[in-house]
Structure 1
Amino acid sequence: MADLSLSILFVDQYGHMGGGQRILVDLVIAAKARGWRVHVLCPSGPLVDVARNGGADVHILALPVMRDGPKSLISLVRMSVASRHLARKYASLAQSCDLIVVNGPRTLAIARTWVRRFKKPALLYLHKQYGRIENALIRFFLSLPHTAAVAVSALVAKPFDDLANVRHISNWVAAEFLDAPASLQRLRQVLGIKDSNPIVLVPGRFSPNKGQRLALEASRLLADVSCHFVFSGAPLFEEQGREVAKELAAQAAQQPSRIHVTDWQEGMSALYDGADVVLVPSVWEEPFGLTAIEAMARARPLIVTDRGTLSELTDDGRFAQVVPADSRAIAASLRTFFADRSAWNNRARQSRNHVEKNFHPHTLQPEVLALCESLLQS
């Protein structure tokens, strides 16, 4: 029976809709389904409306602007000063809730104040690897009573292997990717692609880390092949992503019949359905790789680079082609796909079963909610 007395506060450091925010919204909906009252505290952005539509009461958090990546000591001191003010401002909200879920470390100082002052249990979500100073702050937070953390991959969990209150629970694919009917032509219709040449989809936020530049170079190496490269995303969270977006837009202007850029706003499953092959060309140590899981859920042929968790997610190449983070290797793999798609399509059909077995929301969401309940009981 649902416990209508429980109240949970999700605190997010971003207002954009990245992978971590999509996971947060899924948890909001799952918590509401259990009858819990849900609050979300986050900066202004698309997350505000999405969380409200999921049933949450949303409160706007005015965080100082910080660049992405490792933080300087001065930046962290400035954030600490602002955090004390914000902790006081939203103290009554935190005190009214039974559990605090912190989505990323930038709001740790705020949550730490509430945990210590109001004796609240708290769950910290770790979505990527962090710098030395941030890891120290995470450890300090997790030394407090009734705290725990979810690390979305073994790679993310590794710096905290010695902490018993850090759990590895993978991200999951949204139910839409498992349930939505196929929509094979919608992407071509929206982009105005009238020929039948194959589409290479490169999904994900625009960032130097995500490898869109590698994909552009691979497209140049495949100049003799009639195909389309579709870059779907936006420059979220970091200034350098805007430079990548400008480069993509310039190439699309020069080659409008070959290079396409879209910030896809329709059902995400239709984006993948329209692709003949999906490319995830990350150049950093990818902490998870949600786009790879989404491609496999829609049974699309997939190429990933050998960075971070991507190989592990695809069962070491059983369900995708794993290549070095190199434009020549990517181009060679695409040539193999264009030459004979049948084996690739057979492997892609099997990859959906892999996702249903290992990354299903009905399996993984209850693990997170059970951890929340154990913190409440403690």
Structure 2
Amino acid sequence: MKNILFVHQSAEMYGSDKVLLYLVSGMAAHGLNPIVLLPEEGPLLLELQKCGIETQIVPVTKLDRKTLSPKGLLRLPWSLYKSIVGINRAVAGRKIDLVYSNTLAVLGAAIWALLLRKPHVWHVHEILLSPTVVRKGFPCMVRLLADKAICNSTMTSNWLLAEQPRLAKKTVVIWNGQGPRPEPNMPAAAQVRLQLGIAPDDLVVTLVGRINRWKGQALFIEAADVLRQRGFKNVHFLIVGSAVVGQENLVEDLRHKIAQSSVAAHVHILAFTHDVWSVWDASDIAVVPSTEPEPFGMVAIEAMASGKPVVVAAHGGLLDIVEDGVSGLQFEANNAGKFADAMEKLLLSADLRKQMGLAGKQRQEELFSLHSQVESTAKLLHAMTP
């Protein structure tokens, strides 16, 4: 059994967090023993422990705006020192066959791997377009510190190679995967609707994701406003997610925008929930209207696994996931009118919703399964650790 050290930037349960959880849960079947390091306690830690995955909390030297500020850069050597000491303590003298940095935001593991001459994989979940120092600096960092770069979509790979063409031989695309979802719990789904005051015959359009400036919640409200003006009165718009600690003002800004819209009585916000499957079972249509390119889009394949038709912004990794007109609909990014047009097509036809939902479920099972992701990743890790 080979020991693989996985290092991640957070302990939440959003996109890259879920990817890590699903991935390491399947490693043992391929002769790989995952040891996971996180910077803090949180939902991900609890889920990993439930799965019997060894997980420890250590400083990981997270690369964020604070770290990349002038003061943060001055403190970076000390942060890296603490990270290396923490990793050494967590490893406790055991042989580590490979280090796996999950997201570009963690630097400590890359430096530890370099110092101890361990093979290092960087799993790239990001498309970073600005500022310029980040857009150019992070790909350079991957070229210098990674033996292999796993990109979660074609678009992520294109971004990385556009900035660092010499990474071509190191880079591989492995799509994220979704395992079998739990059986639908219709009483729980009915309870979600009842809690929100949604009638059984009303339609629900749902956006799941962290509340921030680019996930598209504001655009969702604008498009909902357009639909309301077109006469859609039995439609509810559900936003599920929370803001990062310290950015709660974004939720208040969103509530203010909702209050000023014509659909205020039909828009609902639910904080982050572990039971996302009941939310999908309570929904009729899923939307992913990100205003900046999504590197991948785990929410889209979750909705597809639930048999829901998906409306997505036509950029980034979502272009890999949703086949326009077959398993869902794409719309011109940042265009509220086009977004409303796509939702309208599905709202007007129960048959089309069912048809695209079934096609999406089949596409997810064939191309975006957890089995496929784990198998491809395990094969790569074994090839790097003879």
Q: TM-score, normalised by structure 1?
A: 0.87
Counterpart of 1:18 (choices 14, 18, 25) is 14
**1:297 — aligned with what?**
305
For residues 305-334 of structure 1, the C-alpha deviation after alignment (integer angstroms, 9 at most, x for no partner) is 112122331124432111112112222222
Which residue of structure 1 lines up, in the alignment, with residue 378 of structure 2? 369
Distance 1:120-1:93 versus aligned 2 partners, 3 A rule: farther
Q: How much has 1:81 moved relative to structure 2?
A: 3.4
Deviations 1:57-110 (A, max 9, x none): 2221245676469955764453343112221232243452322111122322x2
Matches of 2:308 and 2:4, distance apart in 1: 37
- What residue is the counterpart of 2:209 in the other structure? 204
The residue number in structure 2 matching 1:98 is 97
SS in 1 for 2:52: coil
Show the counterpart of 1:87: 84
Deviation at 1:36, TM superposition (A): 4.2
Structure 2: gaps spanning 5 or more residues: 129-134
Q: 1:174-189 counterparts in 2 under 5 A? A: 174-176=179-181, 180-181=183-184, 183=186, 185-189=190-194
For the pair 1:225 / 2:232, whether they are aligned, the reply is yes
* Counterpart AA for 1:106: A
| Matching residue within 281, 284, 288 for 2:292 | 284
The answer on whether the counterparts of 2:58 and 2:86 sit within 8 Å (CA) in structure 1 is: no
Residue 63 of structure 2 contacts residue 105 of structure 2 at CA under 8 Å; is this kept in 1? no
Name the structure 2 match of 1:8: 4
Q: Secondary structure at the match of 1:106?
A: coil
* More off after superposition, 153-162 vs 211-220: 153-162
Q: 1:332 aligns with which of 328, 341, 347?
A: 341
* CA deviation profile, 1:144-189 (whole Å, cap 9, x unmatched): xxx212110111112235421211101112322xx52363534313
Partner secondary structure for residue 12 of structure 2 = coil
- Distance change (3 Å), C-alpha of 1:222 and 1:70: farther
CA displacement at 1:257 relative to structure 2: 4.1
Aligned residue-pair number: 364
- Matched with 2:131 is none
Secondary structure of 1:303's aligned partner: strand
Are 2:189 and 1:170 equivalent residues in the alignment? no
Take 1:195 and 1:175, find their aligned partners in 2: how far apart are those partners?
27
CA distance in 2, matches of 1:23, 1:232: 19
- Measured in 1, the distance between the counterparts of 2:326 and 2:362 equals 12
From 308, 314, 318, the equivalent of 2:326 is 318
Q: 1:171 touches 1:290 (CA, 8 Å); kept in 2?
A: yes
Distance in 1 (alpha carbons) for counterparts of 2:382 and 2:58: 26
Q: Equivalent pairs: percent with the same residue?
A: 24
Alpha-carbon distance in 2 for matches of 1:370, 1:312: 22
Query: What code does the residue aligned with 1:355 have?
Result: Q
Secondary structure of the equivalent of 1:14? Answer: coil
Select between 254-263 and 43-52 the one with higher mean Cα deviation. 254-263
Paired residue type of 1:245 = V
> Hey, what does 2:132 align to over in structure 1?
none
Q: Is the contact made by 2:311 and 2:331 (CA closer than 8 Å) also made in structure 1?
A: yes
Which residue in 2 is equivalent to 1:39? 35
The answer for the alignment partner of 1:151 in structure 2 is 151
Secondary structure of the residue aligned to 1:207 is coil
Q: Does the 8 Å contact 2:4/2:34 carry over to 1?
A: yes
Whichever residue aligns with residue 366 of structure 1, its letter is E
What CA distance in whole angstroms lies between the structure 2 residues aligned with 1:279 and 1:260? 15
In 1: Cα distance, 2:325 partner to 2:75 partner? 44
Equivalent residues of 2:178, 2:369 under 8 A apart: yes
Which amino acid is 2:297 matched to?
Answer: G
> What secondary structure sits across from 2:296 in the alignment?
coil
Contact 2:218 2:257 in 1 (8 A): no
Is the 1:311–1:317 contact (alpha carbons within 8 Å) kept by the matching residues of 2?
Answer: no
Matched, 1:247 2:277: no
Letter in 2 for 1:141: L
Which amino acid in 1 is paired with 2:173?
H
Letter in 2 for 1:246: E
SS in 1 for 2:106: helix
Contact 2:39 2:58 survives alignment (8 Å)? yes
- Once the 2 structures are TM-superposed, how far is the Cα of residue 127 of structure 1 from its aligned partner? 0.2
Note closer, same or farther for the CA distance 1:239–1:153 as it changes in structure 2 (3 Å cut): farther
Structure 1: tracts of 5 or more residues without a match: none
CA distance in 2, matches of 1:314, 1:189: 31
Letter in 2 for 1:148: K
| Distance in 2 between residues matched to 1:358 and 1:231, nearest whole Å | 27
Task: Work out the CA distance in 1 between the residues paired with 2:246 and 2:185.
Answer: 35
User: Which letter maps to 1:229?
Assistant: F
From 43, 50, 68, give the equivalent of 2:47.
50
TM-score (norm 2): 0.85
